[in-house]
Amino acid sequence: MKIAPGEYFLQGNEACVQGALSAGVRFFAGYPITPSTEIAEGLSHKLKGADGVFLQMEDEIACISAVIGASWGGVKAMTATSGPGFSLMQEAIGYAAMSETPVVIVNVMRGGPSTGQPTRASQGDVMQTKYGSHGDYQVIAFAPASVQEMFDLTVDSFNYSEKYRVPAFLLSDAEIGHMRGLLKIPEHIRIIDRKEKGMKRPDEAYDVPDNLVHPFPVFGKGHKTMITGMTHTDTSKIEPEDARVHQELVERLSEKILRNRKDINKWELMCPGSKTMIVSYGSASLGAKEVAASDDRVGLLRLKSLWPFPEEPVAEVARNCSQILVSEMNLGMMYWEIKRVAVENGCKKVELLSKIGGDPPTPSEFRHRLREMGAL
Amino acid sequence: MELFEFYRKDRWPHVFCPGCGNGTVMNCFYRAFSELALPLDKTAFVGGIGCSSRIPLYINSDALHTTHGRAIAFATGLKLAKPELKIVVFTGDGDLGAIGGNHFINGCRRNVDMTVICINNNIYGMTGGQASITTPHDFQSTTTPYGNKEYPFDLAEIAVAAGANYVARWTTRNVHELAKSMKTALQKKGFTFVEVVSQCPTNFGRRNKMADPSQMLEWFKESSIRRDKDKPALDQVDLNIEGKVTIGEFVDRNRECYEELIGVGKHG
């Protein structure tokens, strides 16, 4: 079922399907929505019989709920959607965070708010990914910028979701999901399986201390597991009135991600040390990459993961440059996080190149803005 | 199986009010389950949000206490990922028929093997007695101070129309019939649905001149009309208007269940 090592010419969404299969997905529940539908269609061909379950459900709430249920059955489970469907999933995403259920959610972002631009790219859901459900919680989110990364970061979404028992997100967009390009499948793909209760083995998942990420008690194995979205103790006793239990639980859910930021965060750095640095991610970074490759006065920090926020690389860049241009396809979301860290680290000039409507910023738009900033 | 092998003694006392019908339903379920000698460790209990949805947390087995209304969707994923598990969903009228109505209808239609037990107390009990989708017409609740002007849903009729394999409805007065229906439902493949019209003296009875639980059971006796014996092949159930309730076994059929149709294999 897994794609053989070699070179392929695939669509971004198809590469995501292959990444999921390589990571070992055994359950997918989806609902048709542009521009993510190819992921559901692709997996409907692959997940059948003993290979796994593909399920088309009545709405996105049902999809994410079934995916969480399947994860408690002990399998790697995933759903894929876009803006409106992602909004519907928010309550259950909070449930997955609270109940520490590993699930992978692909959001092929489109223009919002509301129905917006179903066929056009956007990066308007990056804050919703982290803050969409009520209460304090942390998640893991990756932002692919190529067909290759649609594959690689889908695999990583599964790996980190399983390792930290947390919902992990692949924040793609209509541009990356629908572009076609080269996909290289290596001989060896790093796979991390969840740390299951009652099992001991030398594995990356077992590197995380038990006091932060508890071993996962799969249903049907006599663990008498009690899973709830209510405030609970480590032994799943419901204690909604106990302030101390609530604080310990919610702090641990955050800490297990924040303390392991260095393990999770991924980025690409071009021309480090340039006086002017562009910080961007996903399809908004495509034009910036071209600029940074052709002009050594400008560097690029391309974030491949957005949550937990990669403070270290942003701080490092801010300490060594005099100005930063942030580019994203929204009216400024990650900009405020980047600006916060940059200012804390001595870079006072942080500007935003924001573009919405569906087209990623072009190299000439970057150059025009960089000239205004005196960088070129 | 002893009662306290089946229920988690360490979780008691429970959250239910004195006179609540949930205890009757739990007792009937315990009887059905232990008479069938089903393996507790190979059964998973799923609930949404509400008083009845708390029952899974008192049973000494794997329990998934989920979000409001989505228990059937969670249970669908769990069953298909681990088909060797028997799945029992405990839910209420608000959880199943209002916020979870879509999953209920599609659960019946999809016919994944699970038993859904809905404790219908005609009210939102946990939040203090607001009108639900099954509150009878012109009855009182905290959100219908001038009487409920809407007409109630008939959950059993919806299940019949949507395609469930087995549908029965009883009140908490009909303990023998209820336990028997639960046994039938647990043994049957596909989506099986047992609705129990139950008393909430605290939040329903108190506002409708039936503060004493026994008055509510008396009301069930007077208002319930048994239909299955008259019409054994009945596939239409009357609407539950003005507090009248039809009871009986409404459907018993053998549509192929979803996991058989997709040939789901065993994983993990």
pLDDT digit string, tens, across residues B192-223? 999 999 999 999 999 999 999 999 999 999 98
Name the residue of chain B whose CA is nearest to A99's CA: B66
- A238 and chain B in contact, CB less than 8 A: yes
Structural element, H or E, at residue A302: strand A298-303
Mean pLDDT confidence for A273-298: 97
Q: Which tokens belong to A208? A: 């995380």
> Which residues of chain B have a CB within 8 Å of the CB of A93?
none
Q: Do A109 and A81 meet the contact criterion of CB atoms below 8 Å apart?
A: no
CB neighbour list of residue A370: distance below 8 Å, 6 or more residues apart: A276, A291, A298, A325, A376
Q: How far apart, in whole angstroms, are the C-alpha atoms of residue B263 and residue A24?
A: 19
pLDDT-based confidence at residue B235 (cuts at 50, 70, 90):
very low
For residue B57, give the nearest of A267, A225, A177 by alpha carbon: A225
Of A122-131, A329-338, A343-352, B5-14, the poorest mean pLDDT is in: B5-14
Q: What is the pLDDT of residue B12?
A: 83
At CA B235, angle to CA B230 and CA B237, rounded to 5? 75
- A96 and chain B in contact, CB less than 8 A: no
Mean pLDDT confidence for B89-110: 98
pLDDT-based confidence at residue A343 (cuts at 50, 70, 90):
very high
- A77 and chain B in contact, CB less than 8 A: yes
Q: What is the pLDDT of residue B267?
A: 46
Secondary structure (H, E, C), chain B: CCHHHHECHHHCCCCCCCCCCHHHHHHHHHHHHHHCCCCHHHEEEEECCCCHHHHHHHECCEEEECCCCCHHHHHHHHHHHCCCCEEEEEEEHHHHHHCCHHHHHHHHHHCCCEEEEEEECCEECCCCCEECCCCCCCCCECCECCCCCCCCCCHHHHHHHHCCCEEEEEECCCHHHHHHHHHHHHHCCCEEEEEEECCCCCCCHHHHCCCCHHHHHHHHHHHEEECCCCCCCCCCCCCCHHHCEEEEEEEECCCCCHHHHCCCCCCC
Q: Which tokens belong to A116? A: 């917006």
CB neighbour list of residue B43: distance below 8 Å, 6 or more residues apart: B33, B61, B62, B85, B86, B87, B88
* Confidence check: pLDDT of A214 > 50: yes
Q: Which tokens belong to A361? A: 């910023």
Is the alpha carbon torsion for A89, A94, A97, A101 positive or negative? negative
Q: How far apart, in whole angstroms, are the C-alpha atoms of residue A67 and residue A168?
A: 13
Mean pLDDT confidence for B43-69: 97
R_g over Cα of chain A = 20
Structural element, H or E, at residue A341: helix A334-344
Q: What count of CB pairs under 8 Å joins A to B?
A: 144
CB contact under 8 A, A69 and B65: no
Q: Which tokens belong to B53? A: 């949805």
CB contact under 8 A, B70 and A65: yes
Q: How far apart, in whole angstroms, are the C-alpha atoms of residue B91 and residue B71?
A: 8
Q: Do A170 and A129 meet the contact criterion of CB atoms below 8 Å apart?
A: no
Q: What is the pLDDT of residue B50?
A: 97
Mean pLDDT confidence for A362-373: 98
Q: What is the pLDDT of residue B226?
A: 85
CB contact under 8 A, A73 and B266: no
Distance from CA of A210 to the nearest CA of B (A): 21
Q: What is the pLDDT of residue A200?
A: 85
Q: What is the pLDDT of residue B167?
A: 96
Of A50-59, B199-208, B223-232, the poorest mean pLDDT is in: B223-232
Over residues A66-123, the pLDDT tens digits come to 999 999 999 999 999 999 999 999 999 999 999 999 999 999 999 999 999 999 999 9
Q: What is the pLDDT of residue B266?
A: 53
- A228 and chain B in contact, CB less than 8 A: yes
- A74 and chain B in contact, CB less than 8 A: yes
Mean pLDDT confidence for A251-269: 97
> Which residues of chain B have a CB within 8 Å of the CB of A74?
81-82, 267-268
Q: Do A196 and A205 meet the contact criterion of CB atoms below 8 Å apart?
A: no
DSSP helix/strand/coil, A47: coil
Mutation target for A interface from B74, B104, B106: give the one with most A CBs within 10 A. B74
Q: What percent of chain A has pLDDT over 90?
A: 94
* Confidence check: pLDDT of B148 > 60: yes
pLDDT-based confidence at residue B37 (cuts at 50, 70, 90):
very high
Q: What is the pLDDT of residue B242?
A: 61
Per the confidence metrics, is the pTM higher than 0.90? Answer: yes
Preceding peptide of B18 cis, ω within 30°: no
Of B19-28, B95-104, B241-250, the poorest mean pLDDT is in: B241-250
Residue B163: CA count within 13 A, CB half-sphere: 14
From the CB of residue B64, how many other CB atoms can be counted at a distance below 10 Å? 29
Name the residue of chain A whose CA is nearest to B266's CA: A50
Q: What is the pLDDT of residue A208?
A: 87
Q: What is the pLDDT of residue A50?
A: 86
Q: How far apart, in whole angstroms, are the C-alpha atoms of residue B160 and residue B157?
A: 5
Nearest-10 Cα torsion for B25, B31, B32, B34: 140
- A240 and chain B in contact, CB less than 8 A: no
For residue A161, give the nearest of A242, A79, A102, A232 by alpha carbon: A102
> Which residues of chain A have a CB within 8 Å of the CB of B126?
none
Mean pLDDT confidence for B114-132: 97
Is the alpha carbon torsion for A18, A21, A23, A27 positive or negative? positive
What distances in angstroms separate CA A232 from CA A237, A269, A307, B13, B227, one per listed residue? 5, 42, 25, 17, 45
Residue A148: CA count within 13 A, CB half-sphere: 8
* Confidence check: pLDDT of A64 > 70: yes
Secondary structure (H, E, C), B59-83: ECCEEEECCCCCHHHHHHHHHHHCC
Name the residue of chain A whose CA is nearest to B12's CA: A237
Per-residue buried b or exposed e for A329-359, using 16+ beta carbons within 10 Å of the residue's own CB: bbeebbbebbbebbeebebeebbbbbbbebe
> Which residues of chain B have a CB within 8 Å of the CB of A228?
57, 63, 65
Please report the domains of chain B, with CATH numbers, ordered by start residue: 18-261 (3.40.50.970)
Is the alpha carbon torsion for A318, A321, A324, A327 positive or negative? negative
Q: How far apart, in whole angstroms, are the C-alpha atoms of residue A262 and residue B71?
A: 37
Distance from CA of A193 to the nearest CA of B (A): 11
Q: What is the pLDDT of residue A237?
A: 87
* Confidence check: pLDDT of B236 > 80: no
- At position A107, the amino acid (one-letter code) is N
* Confidence check: pLDDT of B230 > 60: no
Please report the domains of chain A, with CATH numbers, ordered by start residue: 1-259 (3.40.50.970), 268-372 (3.40.50.920)
Name the residue of chain A whose CA is nearest to B45's CA: A226
Q: How far apart, in whole angstroms, are the C-alpha atoms of residue A13 and residue A17?
A: 6
- A307 and chain B in contact, CB less than 8 A: no
Q: How far is CA B29 from the centre of its chain?
A: 11
Q: Do A103 and A167 meet the contact criterion of CB atoms below 8 Å apart?
A: yes
* Confidence check: pLDDT of B234 > 70: no
- A92 and chain B in contact, CB less than 8 A: yes
